[in-house]
Amino acid sequence: MSKPLDRLALLETFVRIADAGSISAAARDLGLSQPSVSRQLAELEARFSAQLMRRTTHSLALTAAGAELLVDARRLLDDWEVLEEKHIESGEALRGQLKIIAPIALGQLHLVDVALQFQQQHPLISLSWQLQDDLIRFAEVGCDCWIKIGAVPDKSLLVEPLGQVERLVVASPQLLQTARPPKTPTALAKLPCVALAPFEGGQIPLTHQTGKTVVVSPAVKMVTNNIFALRQATLAGVGISVLPRWFITKELADQQLIDLLPHWRAPTLTIHVASLADRHQPRRLRSFLEVIKVAVPQIPGIF
């Protein structure tokens, strides 16, 4: 009978295969031969009397049993790591893997600097920095924390707010050459609009600094799910748009974009960080969360 550590090793190999997407890639990551990794997967399948992965010449996919085991395997490996960490001197340097998923634009323009500085301060940490705007299945992707703009729909996660995003209605001077600059939300509704899905559509709620709220319905000329494309279309004069201040600080300063209604704002969006609930967090994750909670509100346009 295999020792408990051997069982953990089999589960670790299984998780590595799932993450790498192939047995050969997992073998390279683990520093093992491909036949050795294949044998470990076969042994694990024999132990559970189930096929965990469907393998073809060019692809590998989890079966239903494999997907279920992957969630449990990640949790078990995390718990084992926490147990090991518990019995290490508290003053020892942070070490281990830290996988973070962050929104594309915010992660690329601002948060990556925070993550890199954290990694440089703790060089024994192996950092995985993944940028993604779509919803994820937290347990399946195996990340330590997920930074997301907007609501996190997974109620099984521990979700904490990091900051509020200020959003304003802007347009390029090019657009305003052919249309009178609006002074009220009613006049704003007469201009074409570029919308960012899923946050904006045919209706844009606006709140005055006095608290009054109105909803404007401009004609949507273009819809995109990419904030870089949204900014580019707005700069090109396609239409007005709602953009976060942190994303257009330079364009506002250079007057490439104009804040059309300075006393009115679109609804703020909350930046959240999500992690697994009901478990002891590794020190490296706790330390990173402490850093990110301080760093995010310091970004211009986030409060």
- Give the model's pLDDT for residue 221: 94
Residue ranges making up the domain that contains 49: 4-86
CATH number at residue 132: 3.40.190.10
| 261: CATH | 3.40.190.290
Q: Say if 104 falls within a structural domain.
A: yes
Residue 153 sits in the same domain as residue 217 = no
CA–CA dist 134, 132 (Å, integer) = 6
Please state, as a whole number, how many other Cβ atoms lie within 10 Å of the Cβ of residue 123.
10
Asked if the structure places residue 75 within a domain, the reply is yes
Model confidence, pTM: 0.76
Looking at the fold, whether 76 and 37 belong to one and the same domain comes out as yes
Query: Same domain, yes or no, for 150 and 193?
Result: no
Please state at what angle helix 23-30 crosses helix 4-20, rounded to 10 degrees: 120
- Do 186 and 280 lie in a common domain? no
> What is d(CA 128, CA 100) in angstroms, rounded to the nearest whole number?
6
Q: Which long-range contacts (CB under 8 A, 24 or more apart) does 75-78 make?
A: 75/139, 75/276, 75/279, 76/8, 76/11, 77/8, 77/11, 77/12, 77/15, 78/276, 78/279, 78/282
82 and 143 in a single domain? The answer is: no
Do 71 and 205 fall within a single domain?
no
Same domain, 60 and 72: yes
What pLDDT is stored for residue 28 in this prediction?
86
Check whether residue 33 and residue 82 sit in a common domain.
yes
CATH number for the domain including 37? Answer: 1.10.10.10
Residues 185 and 261 occupy one common structural domain: yes
At residue 77, φ and ψ (nearest 5 deg) are -65, -40
Helix (H) or strand (E) holding 33: none
Identify whether 173 is part of a domain.
yes
Asked if residue 246 and residue 282 are part of one domain, the reply reads no
Long-range contacts of 104-113 (CB under 8 A, 24+ apart): 104/131, 104/132, 104/133, 104/226, 104/227, 105/227, 105/228, 105/247, 106/147, 106/149, 106/246, 106/247, 106/271, 107/131, 107/147, 109/246, 109/247, 110/246, 110/299, 111/147, 111/292, 111/295, 111/296
Which stretches of 47-178 are assigned E, i.e. beta strand? 53-55, 60-62, 96-102, 125-131, 145-149, 157-171
Same domain, 112 and 153: yes
Bridge partners for 60 per DSSP: 55
Examine residue 207 and state whether it is found in any structural domain, yes or no.
Answer: yes
Please indicate, yes or no, if residue 124 is contained in any of the structural domains. yes
Is residue 91, in this structure, part of any structural domain at all? Answer: no
Looking at the fold, whether 283 and 157 belong to one and the same domain comes out as yes
pLDDT value at position 278? Answer: 64
CA distance 202 to 220: 6
Query: If you compute the radius of gyration of the chain from its CA atoms, what whole number of angstroms results?
Result: 24
CB proximity list for 158: less than 8 A, separation 6 or greater = 274, 275, 276, 277, 278
Which of 86, 121, 144 is the last residue before a domain boundary?
Answer: 86
- What would the pLDDT profile of 18-41 be if each residue is shown by its tens digit? 888 888 888 888 888 888 888 888
First to last CA, the chain: 57
Domain edge (last residue) among 43, 62, 86: 86
Number of domains in the chain: 3
Low-confidence ranges of the chain (pLDDT < 70): 1-5, 57-58, 85-91, 278-280
Q: Which one of 29, 63, 86 terminates a domain?
A: 86
303 within a domain of the structure (yes/no): no
3-class SS at 291?
Answer: helix
